[in-house]
Amino acid sequence: MKPPPVYTEYHPKWYRTRVSTYWWSRSWAYLKFILRELTSIFVAYFVVITLLQIRALKQGPQSYAQFQEWLRMPLPVVLNAVSLLFVLFHTITWFNLAPRAMPVRIGGKRIADPWIAAPNYVAWLAISVLVAWLLLRG
């Protein structure tokens, strides 16, 4: 006869191997994931800058001129350049992730990843050209 099972109030501790704090730095896929998550900081930075710009615009021409002068200082220029690189990285990795997040099937066959990602890039390019045209036309 088997002895009755012993139940514990809490789950016994599992054996867990020690993992380095920098586990994500050993693989490009993990590093890319962590970098993509960190890009949210730079997206938030652009949001704050945009809100500050709108506030300065609302306060009048003198306030807006001061804000533009502040943006010409070296620190904001460097921060904006670094932020732009991170936001571009975020956008590209996001568009490349779209086919995995939304597998489209037609007639039971999955559409190739480039056919899902390409419209995102085309829309991005079209909107960028439109905005550039609106800003640069004079």
**3-state secondary structure string, 60-107?**
CHHHHHHHHHHHCCHHHHHHHHHHHHHHHHHHHHHHHHHHHHCCCEEC
Q: Domain 23-102+111-132 - what CATH class? A: mainly alpha
Helix, strand or coil for residue 108? coil
Per-residue pLDDT reduced to its tens digit, 37-82: 999 999 999 999 999 999 999 999 999 999 999 999 999 999 999 9
Helix, strand or coil for residue 9? coil
CB atoms within 10 A of CB 56: 19
Q: Which residues contact 70 (CB under 8 A, 6 or more apart)?
A: 76
Domain boundaries, given as residue ranges, for the chain:
23-102+111-132
CB atoms within 10 A of CB 99: 19
Do strands 105-106 and 109-110 pair parallel, antiparallel, or not at all (unpaired)? Answer: antiparallel
Asked if 56 and 63 touch (Cβ cutoff 8 Å), the reply is yes
Per-residue pLDDT reduced to its tens digit, 81-118: 999 999 999 999 989 988 888 888 898 899 998 998 99
